[in-house]
Structure 1
Amino acid sequence: MAVAPYRMYLHSISVYLLLIVFFAGLSTRAQYTDVINSNRPGKAVSAYAVGKNVIQAEAGLFYEMQDHNLINTESDIFGSDIALRYGLFFEKLEIHWEGIFQQQQIDFLNIDLQETYTNFYRNRLGLKFLLFDPYKNPERNKPNLYSWRANNVFQFKNLIPAISVYAGANFNLGDNPFYPDDPIVSPRAMIATQSKLTPRMVLISNIAYDRIGTDFPEWSYLVSLSRALRNPKWSVFIENQGISSDRYSDILLRGGVAHLFSENFQADLLLGGSFKNTPSRLFISSGVSYRLDFHNDDPIPIEDQDRIGRNSMKNQGKPAGMSKKELKKLRKKERKARKKKKNDWDIGS
């Protein structure tokens, strides 16, 4: 049976918009900034944690069309996805819950039957730990004071990624029509990498082994390339995902745009689709990311200020790798040290 005209129209519009986002992301020159460190609007997971004592919520609404040529069905799916992230104990550790709650209405065209499935498509809890961060080396963070090009173009050393590991579990509660044969708990493991290719562009990759020990274990990969626009409050991304399982295998393409309203609030839009027709998938999603920042930076000792570039701070701006909050605290500590030194001199004289 042919696809209904309205579905063909939505398919054409979605593909067209996805191509616009893709080419915008490849052609726009801009400066990359990581403020809220959100995983949205894509599905790839950053290698970095949100930070100790930071609470972050990432939530959105989505709609998806599915057409399965082999069994001749059409589906409309509405749902909400949410992630809650918390920086646990120290900077490198994050606890992460992900949930997708959806309703899928399936039309079986051969037998004139309609069914509706409602439940959690994803209900996952895990821990992520940063194993390696190439930017921890202070020598790597020093800017080249003699070459703008050296600081702003791709260099092979930029391919060295930050690496984190993830361990968690899926929870299949109740009579779930999406995973009818799965146990209540099934483990998941993942490796996430992140490379800052240029100040404007970031590459993230994930390799995951999911639903371990079930009848349908799943391998997947994600590769996501993001860059900011000329206005650094805007960014775009393109993402590819591959899934391999006896239950479901596919290759997906996503593209999206995000806007940073403040250091703690981001909104986004995503479009995507699949490359097969068993089923074919087209989806659109929009959401927000928001964080409550209770993070406290460790004080920087006065004796370490020269090591991190106090003179560069005065003459060149803040050192590479130092946040605005760290810079503000460092300058405040310098002023207190100078004032104390002056008072000690007055008392001694």
Structure 2
Amino acid sequence: MKRFFIASLFSIACFSAQAQYTETINSNRPGGSQGAFAVGNQVLQFETGLKIGGDNHDLFQTETDLFGIDYEIRYGFLMEQLEVSLGGTYLKSTVSSNVGGVDNEYEFSNFQSNTLGLKYLVYDPYKKRSLEKPNIYSWKANNSFKWRDLIPAVSIYGGANLLFGDNPYLLEEESALSPRAALITQNNWGRFVFVMNFIADKIGGEYPSYSGIFTMTHSVNGKVSVFGEYQAIKSDLYADDIARAGGAYLITKDLQVDISGLVNFKDTPSKWQVALGVSYRIDMHAEDEIIMDEKTKKAEEKESKKEKRNSELVNPDGTMNE
């Protein structure tokens, strides 16, 4: 489903609208997007995976074999809406070419990316809906499409790319420290979750890039979920269209495994990758806390007092008090 998943993959599809915290792990693996919701206050989560792939460049006549490790550490703190994360990729590249009939091969490895960032949930349309009582007289009223379902949860993300030393994945014109920002939206439609990420990367640098990631996740049952994803990338240095697909399996409420693959739609270079991953959380969350604004809190208190007054008017035998 972030994610992904999510965008956020299995657990986001099953997520409880009452709070940021979910009963099952909320992982951004195995896709390229991240969901709008944080892991939950005092939840520490580890997400990692191995991947292999290839880049074949028709113009340069090169073939590159890839082996990498993706990682992300996420922690919710201070409040349900806030999350700090550190994520990146360590990549080994083996490049083969043929120049003048002579085969050449060389390899290099380093961190392709490291990003430290914060995500904050700005707007959650589901927090009040979770407090609504179902219509006991109409199945249609409870399950039919409503225009408000098109309104997504919205988060903002800000971070810094960190690459230091003699790194072959860092061009001479690029800075070792650069900003990254994203706008994240998420719609929960029953067993389906739709996530959009709009990302500005290496802002203010020599080669800034912009991308959009669109992820649809479907929860097949209580254990299995699948996803499809499209990503568009645009920059002066590199542009591409990438498709991803895969699935995740929930082993326990705190442990998830996943598999995914990607391809692109160009030959400079053409890409493919296959990845296997795992996500695990250490759940130190104290309670399932409902996020409400002051207006909602007052309305809830008023309704509670009203119900209490009504109950005091009725005797245990069903007769009314004078």
Alignment of 1:1-349 (within 5 A): 32-34=13-15, 35-111=24-100, 112-138=103-129, 141-152=132-143, 154-181=145-172, 182-196=174-188, 198-229=189-220, 231-297=221-287
> Equivalents in 1 of 2:191, 2:289: separation in Å?
29
**Contact between 1:135 and 1:141, CA under 8 Å: does it hold in 2?**
no
TM-aligned CA deviation for residue 151 of structure 1: 3.9
> Equivalents in 1 of 2:217, 2:121: separation in Å?
20
1:45-85 CA distance string (max 9 Å, x none): 11001011000011000001111001110010001000000
> Equivalents in 1 of 2:143, 2:225: separation in Å?
17
The structure carrying a bigger helix percent of its residues is 1
Go from structure 1 to structure 2 and tell me whether the alpha carbon gap of 1:226 and 1:304 turns closer, same or farther (over 3 Å shift). same
> Equivalents in 2 of 1:236, 1:153: separation in Å?
24
Go from structure 1 to structure 2 and tell me whether the alpha carbon gap of 1:39 and 1:297 turns closer, same or farther (over 3 Å shift). same
The alignment partner of 1:137 has SS state of helix
> Equivalents in 2 of 1:210, 1:274: separation in Å?
20
Go from structure 1 to structure 2 and tell me whether the alpha carbon gap of 1:307 and 1:85 turns closer, same or farther (over 3 Å shift). farther
> Equivalents in 2 of 1:36, 1:150: separation in Å?
31
* AA partner of residue 31 (structure 2): G
Greater shift in the superposed pair: 290-299 or 133-142: 133-142
> Equivalents in 1 of 2:73, 2:203: separation in Å?
23
TM-aligned CA deviation for residue 262 of structure 1: 1.3
> Equivalents in 2 of 1:265, 1:243: separation in Å?
32
The alignment partner of 2:274 has SS state of strand
TM-aligned CA deviation for residue 115 of structure 1: 1.7
**Contact between 1:163 and 1:191, CA under 8 Å: does it hold in 2?**
yes
TM-aligned CA deviation for residue 175 of structure 1: 1.0
Give the TM-score normalised by structure 2.
Answer: 0.80
* AA partner of residue 75 (structure 1): T
* AA partner of residue 193 (structure 1): T
Please, what is the CA RMSD of the aligned residues? Answer: 2.3
> Equivalents in 2 of 1:237, 1:215: separation in Å?
34
Go from structure 1 to structure 2 and tell me whether the alpha carbon gap of 1:157 and 1:215 turns closer, same or farther (over 3 Å shift). same
**Contact between 1:152 and 1:199, CA under 8 Å: does it hold in 2?**
no
TM-aligned CA deviation for residue 145 of structure 1: 2.8
Go from structure 1 to structure 2 and tell me whether the alpha carbon gap of 1:256 and 1:264 turns closer, same or farther (over 3 Å shift). same
> Equivalents in 1 of 2:280, 2:274: separation in Å?
20
**Contact between 2:255 and 2:280, CA under 8 Å: does it hold in 1?**
yes
> Equivalents in 1 of 2:303, 2:106: separation in Å?
66
**Contact between 1:49 and 1:130, CA under 8 Å: does it hold in 2?**
yes
> Where in structure 1 are there 5+ consecutive unaligned residues?
1-30, 312-349
Identity between Structure 1 and Structure 2 (%): 41
**Contact between 2:49 and 2:278, CA under 8 Å: does it hold in 1?**
yes
* AA partner of residue 237 (structure 1): F
**Contact between 2:170 and 2:176, CA under 8 Å: does it hold in 1?**
no
TM-aligned CA deviation for residue 143 of structure 1: 3.0
> Equivalents in 2 of 1:297, 1:145: separation in Å?
29
TM-aligned CA deviation for residue 144 of structure 1: 3.4
Give the TM-score normalised by structure 1.
Answer: 0.74
The alignment partner of 1:277 has SS state of coil
> How many residues matched?
276
